């Protein structure tokens, strides 16, 4: 499985994280007939390319408030929702098989994305979070990243039907057990 490292610009997501996203997307295509993959917070589309490589036939949806990535990355064969994820979830009617949350990194933003998007998932689906384990240097530059971990831990504590999956680097992932 070839991951387009150079085309998918951005250094915020590591090579191991890219490989993990690729593999997770591939696993979803094996488990579900017509998977829907949603990526909240697309920035420069690095994660979107990894998800597309892993799931070439899946419905891939990117959600972000910044429209700049859409013009540059039309070759992704993806749908783009250029709107705040805390609002557009209401209009999104499809069930989700893989959800990658990497949008607003403030505690309230992560908590809102969990509350609004995770209920749209199917049993057996996987939710992956970025920046769960930020590096100390990242926390010095962006102290609110600690809110990502707090929001995820609070959610996971109250959801025994979600199994934690092993992940590399700053990712955290959970699968809804049936």
Assess whether pLDDT exceeds 70 at residue 1.
Answer: no
Q: Is 109 helix (H, G, I), strand (E, B) or coil?
A: helix
Give tens-digit pLDDT for 63-118.
999 877 666 666 788 999 999 999 999 999 999 999 999 999 899 999 999 999 99
Predicted TM-score (pTM) of the model is 0.91
User: In sequence order, which residues have a C-beta less than 8 Å from that of residue 79 and are 6 or more positions away?
Assistant: 59, 60, 61, 62
Of 47, 73, 44, 48, nearest to 60 by C-alpha is: 48
As separate numbers, helices (DSSP H) first and strands (DSSP E) second, the chain gives 7, 7
Give the CA dihedral 21, 123, 58, 48, nearest 10 degrees. -30
Give the domains, in start order, of the chain with CATH numbers: 15-176 (3.40.50.150)
Q: What is the mean pLDDT of the chain?
A: 89
pLDDT at 3: 52
């Amino acid at each position: 499985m070839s991951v387009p490292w150079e085309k998918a610009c951005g250094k915020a997501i590591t090579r191991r994280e890219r490989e993990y996203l690729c593999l997770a997307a591939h696993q979803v295509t094996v488990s579900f007939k017509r998977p829907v993959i949603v990526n909240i917070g697309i920035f420069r589309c690095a994660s979107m390319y990894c998800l597309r490589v892993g799931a070439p036939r899946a419905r891939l949806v990117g959600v972000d408030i910044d429209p700049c990535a859409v013009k540059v990355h039309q070759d992704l064969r993806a749908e783009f929702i250029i709107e705040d994820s805390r609002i557009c979830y209401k209009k999104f009617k499809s069930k989700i098989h893989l959800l990658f949350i990497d949008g607003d990194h403030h505690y309230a933003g992560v908590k809102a994305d969990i509350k609004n998007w995770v209920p749209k998932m199917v049993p057996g689906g996987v939710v992956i979070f970025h920046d769960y384990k930020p590096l100390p240097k990242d926390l010095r530059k962006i102290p609110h990243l600690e809110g990502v971990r707090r929001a995820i831990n609070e959610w996971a504590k109250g959801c025994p039907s979600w199994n934690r999956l092993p992940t590399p680097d700053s990712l955290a992932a959970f699968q809804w057990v049936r």
